Amino acid sequence: MSDVDTSEAKRRRNKRWPEALKREIVSATSRPGASVSVVARQYDVNANQVFAWRRRFLAEATSAMPALVPVMIKPESDEKPQPAVGDTIEIEVGGDCRVRVGSDFDARALKRVLDLLRKR
């Protein structure tokens, strides 16, 4: 005779988690300093399940992003257009540094600056 109890009370039941609650749990894991295992314990869910939800939501988010951006190519003219007053670009390097460049910048100097900032 077997000592295994197969009664309904002893069997592990799969919980059904509402979509909104899954997203709330995954969102809680993305806060600074958050630990997936700690968040999982707070919500009484297996940490592996939370990781699976994170992968699913990340895949959904990346598949919803457009892969291509429309581009218009205009033929070059012999005349160099005069830069507008607000004709500048802003380059963010490493999330903590920005370089603003006007249309009359020296490309070699800009390359040197960007190379130095990347090495920091």
pLDDT tens track for 8-66: 555 556 678 899 999 999 999 989 999 999 999 999 999 999 999 999 988 887 776 66
Query: d(Cα 67, Cα 11) in Å, to the nearest integer?
Result: 46
Q: Would the pLDDT of 76 be above 80?
A: no
Confidence of residue 104 (pLDDT cuts 50, 70, 90): confident
Q: Which residue has the tokens 């963010």?
A: 92
Half-sphere exposure of 43 (CA within 13 A, CB side): 22
The more confident residue out of 21 and 111 is: 21
Q: Determine the distance from the C-alpha atom of residue 97 to the mean position of all C-alpha atoms in its chain, rounded to a whole number.
A: 19
Confidence at residue 29, expressed as pLDDT on a 0 to 100 scale: 92
The more confident residue out of 51 and 113 is: 51
Q: How many helices (H) and strands (E) does the chain have?
A: 4, 2
